Amino acid sequence: MKAPIFALVDCDNFFVSCERIFRPDLTDHPVVVLSSNDGCAVSRSNEAKKLGIPMGAPAFKYQELFKQHQVAKFSANFELYGNISRRITELLTTVTPRIEIYSVDESFLDLSELPIADYAVWGHSVRAAILQWTGVPVSIGIASSKTLAKLASNRAKKLPELGGVLNLINNPDTDMYLESVAVQDIWGIGRQLAPKLRAEGIDNALKLSKMYPKLAKQLTGIRGRQTVTELDGISCFPITLGSQRPKTILRSRTFGEDTNSSHIVESALASFATTAAFRLRRSGQLAKQIGIFVDTNRFKPGFRRWTKNMSYRTPIADTGQLINDAVSMFGEIYNTGVAYHRAGVWLQDFVPDDQLQIDIFGNTNIHEHDTSQKRMQAIDSLNERYGKHTVHYATQDLARQWQPKRKLCSPRYTTDLNELPKAKIVHTTNK
Ligand SMILES: [Mg+2]
């Protein structure tokens, strides 16, 4: 077996970069993308970072600064970001099928079996291809462990002279790069472990890489010891191919406005049950438990949360049944005097959908289960072919008022035929 070599491909300011693909006028201009209900900044362009807008900045507090510097603001357009993310993954899969999708904007690639003569040259060519084919700038770190690849991509992002790529394989400057990364910025260390390490005089990645593994384990546990080994160039965390099956699925949202209408909350719960059930079927699983929660506003006095859950003898993935149960559980806790602010549906206790157990009491109705599976397959394929809500349950429609506000949302350029970008051709005649 060859020595492990990893690349981490990490999109720069991902949501902002997606917005800029179709708004080239915003290049070099400060841009922020705001979270649900346009509350907080969740992605910032480099120009916005330079203005001192921190991650998670509440939009209402920065209104003046936004105005003064004409910061372009967008509501999060998850249809667009999800689509661009899939395009980048598809492109990377053509480089190697040995890919681990780590998050919406980061993937690890296993390069150990690829015939690459010069890793830095390879990195620059992949970076250029992604930029040309999708319009998104990325940073690439290449190293003999995932932790080092993460660190290298962080340096590639922060140091403009690297042009977006840093290769640490046989790089004589490796120690210098390690020294320049603070201990809390190392993957797997974070805010909780960092103070303990700093108290021992270990404040950067180079010092941590030279720590005795025994002491590292005492201070930070097994994961910390592995991080030290990884920083020393020895891989402990192998690549995880494909996407893992989730163990729980949660769908929740803060409403656009507080409400005490049962119809509005039911419609929200029905939508969450629908998307959760779709995700469940996609992962090839059935659920044995469903739960719901409803909240008042936690920032107002008298905050309360109500939860309910129920179990199924026969595990299911049927949207209609799950909606029914979510709505009737809400019926049991509904109170006309409450201003509901947020709600959610979760599914858990999963089994693979090809391993439906027939219980000894004969409670499993196989015929009913098969009919439900076929119905769901039909709905999913229609919705995949003709668009998200082509076939849906009526409860979802009772009221759409619960939906979060997205006043500043850009068009769904890549996923909706009615919102395609328009191009103008200007004809000029040279004299
Ligand atoms: Mg990123």
For tokens 């119809």, the residue is: 263
Predicted TM-score (pTM) of the model is 0.76
Q: Which of 169, 156, 161 is nearest to 126 (CA)?
A: 156
Alpha helices (H) in 283-365, listed in sequence order: 319-333
In a domain, 403, yes or no: no
Whole-number Å distance, alpha carbon 66 to ligand 1 midpoint, is 23
Ligand 1: centre distance to CA 138 (Å) = 8
16, part of any domain: yes
88 and 22, same structural domain? yes
* 148 domain-assigned: no
Q: How far is the CA of 389 from the centre of ligand 1 (A)?
A: 30
Q: Ligand 1 center to residue 276 CA distance, Å?
A: 26
Are 218 and 256 members of one domain?
no
Question: CA of 392: how far to CAs of 247, 250, 345, in Å?
Answer: 25, 20, 17
Q: Which of 192, 214, 244 is the last residue of a domain?
A: 244
Same domain, 134 and 59: yes
Work out the average pLDDT over 231-259: 88
User: What pLDDT is attached to residue 356?
Assistant: 65
Residues 226 and 138 reside in one and the same domain = no
Composition of the chain by helix, strand, coil, percent to 5? 45, 20, 35
* Domain contains 201: yes
Average of per-residue pLDDT across 170-188: 94
Domain membership of residue 25 (yes or no) is yes
385 has pLDDT over 70: yes
Distance 347 CA to ligand 1 centre (A): 29
344 plus 362 within the same structural domain: yes
Under 8 Å between Cβ of 34 and 77: no
Domain edge (last residue) among 244, 272, 290:
244
Report the CATH number at residue 123.
3.40.1170.60
**Euclidean distance between CA atoms 55 and 15, whole angstroms:** 13
- Number of folded domains that form the chain: 3
Say yes or no: 73 and 207 in one domain. Answer: no
Q: Are 11 and 127 in contact (CB under 8 A)?
A: no
Instruction: Note whether 234 and 252 are same-domain residues.
Output: no
Ligand 1 centre to CA of 225 (Å) is 26
Claim to verify: residue 255 and residue 240 sit in the same structural domain: no
For the chain, state the CA radius of gyration.
Answer: 25
- Find the 11 Cα to ligand 1 centroid distance in Å: 4
- What is the tens place of the pLDDT at every residue in 300-311? 888 999 999 999
106 alpha carbon – ligand 1 mean position (Å)? 6
Same domain, 253 and 388: yes
Number of C-beta neighbours around residue 35 at 10 A = 18
Supply the range of the domain harboring residue 266: 248-397
Give me the phi and psi of 296, to 5 degrees please.
Answer: -90, 180
Q: Examine the domain organization and report whether 282 and 266 are in the same domain.
A: yes
Residue 283 DSSP symbol: T
317 and 228 in a single domain? The answer is no
Residues 6+ apart with CB under 8 A from 207: 183, 201
Which residue shows structure tokens 């079996």? 113
Is the CB of residue 247 less than 8 Å from the CB of residue 350?
Answer: yes
Half-sphere exposure of 339 (CA within 13 A, CB side): 10
Map residue 335 onto helix, strand or coil.
coil
Q: Is there a domain that residue 99 lies in?
A: yes
Asked if residue 310 and residue 198 are part of one domain, the reply reads no
Cα(131)–Cα(41) distance, integer angstroms: 24
Structural domain includes residue 107 = yes
Q: pLDDT above 90 covers what percent of the chain?
A: 63
**What is the per-residue pLDDT across 107-121, written as a single tens digit (0 to 9) for each?**
999 999 999 999 999
